[in-house]
Structure formats: C-alpha cells, structure tokens
Amino acid sequence: MRLSFVGIWFLCFSLTYASCSNTSAFPELSEADLSELQEGLQQGQFTSVDLVKAYLARIQEVNTALHAVAETNPDALTIAQTLDEERKAAGSYALLGSKVPHDSTVVAKLRAAGAIILGKANLSQWANARSSNTTNGWSAYGGQCSAVYYPNQDPSGSSSGSAVISSIGLAFATLGTDTIGSVLSPSDVNNVVGIRPTVGLTSRHLVIPFSLRQDSVGPLARTVKDAAAMLSVIAGPDPADNYTTVNPHPDLDYTKFDEDYNTTLKNGRIGIPANILEVFTASWFDTTNTSGPVMDAFYAAVNLLEQHGATVNHNANYSRLDEYITGYLDGSISNVVLADVAYDIPEYLNLLQPQATPLPQTLEDIRNFTQHYPLEDYPDRDTADFDMELAAPSASSAEIWAQYQLNLQLGGAGGIVGALDNNNLDVLIVPTQASPYVTCIAGLPAISVPLGFYPSSQPVLESSRGLIGTAPGIPFGISFIGRAWSEQTLLKYAYAFEQLTQVRKSGKPYMLPSTELGDIVG
C-alpha cells in the first residue's frame, strides 16, 4: 500500500513565563500531556525555555539513531517572543533553501495560540510520491528515520518522524498530512493518537501538497485530549484554501467531548464494516499473514465496548465495496491523487519566494533534478511514482473529474456514510491498518488510537531494505471513522476507548531519551 504525504512541524506549547522554580514532581516528557505542561508552566515549576531545552536535549540523545528530526528551529529558544522566519524543505534537495512567503496557516495558528515550533520532522520523501523502490521515513535530505518499538523498526509513513517524535516526547506533539493514510498509518505503528480531519477542516495553505482533493493536516499526540486541543487550534476557515470555507459546523472547539465515557459507551451506536475486514484478512490481501493478532485485539476491544453497553452492529457493510476493490486493484481509484500531484505541486512552487538559483517549477523539473543530483540516491531509488504521476490524465480532465465523483460515492453513500445512515450509527471502527481504504478517497475523517502490540510469538518480518515491519512489541491501532465534519463525535468515542483501555501505557520502546525537566531546571 502506498502511503502519502508530508508531516511537518512539531511543537511544544507554552503559556506563561515564571520566575520561581519548583523542581518536585516534573511531568515525565515521554508521557506529559498538555494539562500537566500548562500547570507546570503556570505554577512556575519550569519555564517554556526549560521545556525547549529539555526537548532539544532529548532530540540530541536519540536522533543519531532514529533520524526522527530533520531540522531544529534555531530560534526555538527565543521564539516565545518573536515569530521569526521559518525555513522549509521537502525532504528533497530540490527545495533546499526555498523560502515560503510566510508561515503556513496551521503553523501561524499554533504560534498565535502560544506554541513554539521546535523543528521539522524527517518524512518519507515527497510523501512517498517519488519512488516505487524507497522506504517509509527515508528522504535524501533527512536520511532514514526509524521507530522505537523494535530495533530498526519501519516507522511507516509518510508522516514518519512526526509519529516517532510524539511517541517518545521529543516534542509535546506534531503535525502531519494525510492523503491516503499518512497520519493514520504512522500513528498505528508508533503508539500515538492521530487525527485525519475531514478534508477542509484544516487549511493546507503553504503545506507542500500531494492532492488537495484528499490532503488533510492533522495532529499526532500521545492522548486524545492533546490531539483534540491541537485540532481546535488549527481548524477553521482560511480564504487561502477554499475547501475550508464549506464546513457547516461553526463550532471549532473540539475539546468539549463528554468526560463521562461510560455514558458515551452506554448510548454508543457503533458499526463494523465486516466486508472490508473480510478483504483485510484475506490471504491475497494480507500477504504477510500479520492481521491475526490485530483482529484478535480488535474483537477483544469490540467485546469490551459491548460489555460497557455499546450497541455494535457487526454488519455495517460498505454497499459498493466490490467496485472500490476493482478500482483499487486496477489503479483507477488512485488516478485522482496521481493526477493532482502534477498539478498541485507547481501551484505550491509558485507561492515560494524567488531566489538566486531558480527552484524547480514543475514536477518534470523535480524529476529531472532527482535523477541528476547525486545525493538523491537515483537510480538505486527510482522515480517510478513521478513517472506515473506525469503520465496520468490532467487533473482538470473530464476523466479525472468523473473518477473523483465516483470516489466520493464509493467512500460516501456507497461506503462509510451509507453504512452509518442505513444502520442508524454514529461511528464505524476498524483496525487502523484497514482505515485509509474507502475513507480517504471521500475526504472523510478518522482517528487512530492505540489498540495493542504484536505478541512475543510474532515472527520478525522485514518490510524493505532492512527495516522491520512486524515484530514482537510493535504497536497497532484502532480507527474511529465517520461522516464529514463529525470530528466531535469521533473524538468522544476515541476518548471513551482510550480511557477504558489505556493501551499506550503498555508500550515498551527499546530506546528512550533520558533528559527530563529536572536535569534542566536550576
């Protein structure tokens, strides 16, 4: 499965600056949540400068091994007062040194809310839109990022570093972009909560695009509450991204989900799309035979939800799944995003500031650059995906428009929305590994929450180029999927599940930085 897109900034929240310090009971940074950090800052236990120093020290401890962080922000220590310029790269040397005219809208909103941008995550280059022969978390500029639940673990992608950073507290939380699962999938294997919002809930202005019809910027955090707090900050209309102007729900405070998770579950109406799970577990699809432990954990979770009073419909099937699978296998489904890359990337490049050495202008230019610049590792890593994108019909052609309309139907009335409406349900659940299918083509939202870990009996399997894809202790998640703009509902269920199970806490990273606030303060 190809996973797409660019994860970007990671951050730490700061609110107040205080003079006295109180060194007892610092929150542990690999688990600290927003409320603990805010409380510590407000009480003067530590300052935001301490927090930045601690995160930078933690990054330094592990980054040589993990390559999770591509660049730290040189201004991080003084940024609390100033909104200095931010440099951007795309994991490719093609855009190294390029300058955006101003912050992306999501970053501007985070800064305005008091967040400090610590740096940039290492990602899968061009959101995995370049090569058929590359790896998750690899970029020419950033090197190979790996995850922490098994040595040399495949971090998944494409928001690879974003997930690793949040997972072990190299920052408070991170952002990523999801086109076909690029937030959901790294959240899955890194034991974090990831939100893929409805396309149009968060602005993509000045975020390097893959497909504006499917791209969605969302948070990766350690708890549902923290992810919801981040979403509340970054959501909302932006004249520079017209998809954000059609949200029918003006209430963008996503932190108001019900605290009483028992009541949520007692009134819960949850569906399982059994027919997609039949595909997910079929031997022709699950070629590595790794779905077994995931399904065991999934059905144990379903049992638990039922025991807590939730009504679970086990046959909330997608009515047009057969057509989806046909289009998935013959590639017609993905023609929309393939066509969009060649159109949307030049549109983004147009927004960059002019500079002495001209930047590439088109995807052809980027392909040519990639094939000639030695550090881009060509031809060992090819440009087959660029080739496919450049060969796709034009993004504005009638053919792509028709396919886009079909995709919206297959994901909507013939998929998720139909399953919810026909069965009077609030939310669908599937293992996160099965969640990008159907969901992303219709721009629908999903939230991944930790569900379990591969058992000690799990055979160790390489994914590619020496990275380990499946092994004992590697995490996996469950996803809550819903109608467009239903994030409030999804969060309520995700929170209830998280509170009930507390799965994340059983994760055992083989590598953790040791610097804590107590080492910095005083």
Find, among 198, 243, 256, the residue nearest to 486 by Cα: 198
Q: How far is the CB of 284 from ligand NAG (least distance, A)?
A: 13
Q: How far is the CB of 327 from ligand NAG (least distance, A)?
A: 18
Task: Output the residue with the shortest Cβ distance to ligand NAG.
Answer: 292
Q: Smaller CB distance to ligand NAG: residue 165 or 451?
A: 451
Find, among 275, 221, 217, the residue nearest to 491 by Cα: 221
Q: Smaller CB distance to ligand NAG: residue 25 or 329?
A: 25
Q: Smaller CB distance to ligand NAG: residue 260 or 421?
A: 260
Q: What is the binding site for ligand NAG (CB under 6 A)? A: 22, 24-25, 43, 45, 133, 242-243, 246, 260-262, 274-275, 278, 289, 292-293, 315, 317, 368, 372, 380
Measured CA distances, 54 to 33, 50, 97, 339 (Å):
15, 6, 28, 43
Find, among 240, 10, 12, the residue nearest to 115 by Cα: 12
Q: How far is the CB of 233 from ligand NAG (least distance, A)?
A: 22
Q: How far is the CB of 98 from ligand NAG (least distance, A)?
A: 16
Q: Smaller CB distance to ligand NAG: residue 78 or 371?
A: 371
Maximum pairwise Cα distance, the chain: 65
Where do we find the tokens 């409380």? 39
DSSP state letter for 355: -
Q: How far is the CB of 32 from ligand NAG (least distance, A)?
A: 12
Report which secondary-structure segment, H or E, holds 450: strand 446-453
At residue 279, the 3 state secondary structure works out as: helix
Where do we find the tokens 């920052």? 171
Find, among 387, 400, 382, 411, the residue nearest to 339 by Cα: 400
Q: Smaller CB distance to ligand NAG: residue 78 or 315?
A: 315
Q: How far is the CB of 150 from ligand NAG (least distance, A)?
A: 17
Q: Smaller CB distance to ligand NAG: residue 45 or 128?
A: 45
CB 449 within 8 A of CB 221: no
Q: How far is the CB of 442 from ligand NAG (least distance, A)?
A: 14
CB 352 within 8 A of CB 362: no
Query: Residue type at 130?
Result: R
Strands 446-453 and 69-72: unpaired
The answer to whether the Cα torsion of 185, 190, 431, 296 is positive or negative is positive
Q: How far is the CB of 457 from ligand NAG (least distance, A)?
A: 8
Q: Smaller CB distance to ligand NAG: residue 9 or 261?
A: 261
Find, among 8, 53, 36, the residue nearest to 174 by Cα: 8
Q: Smaller CB distance to ligand NAG: residue 28 or 260?
A: 260
Phi-psi region of 237 (alpha: psi -120 to 50; beta: other; left: phi over 0): beta
Q: Smaller CB distance to ligand NAG: residue 64 or 287?
A: 287
Q: How far is the CB of 60 from ligand NAG (least distance, A)?
A: 27
First-to-final CA distance of the chain: 49
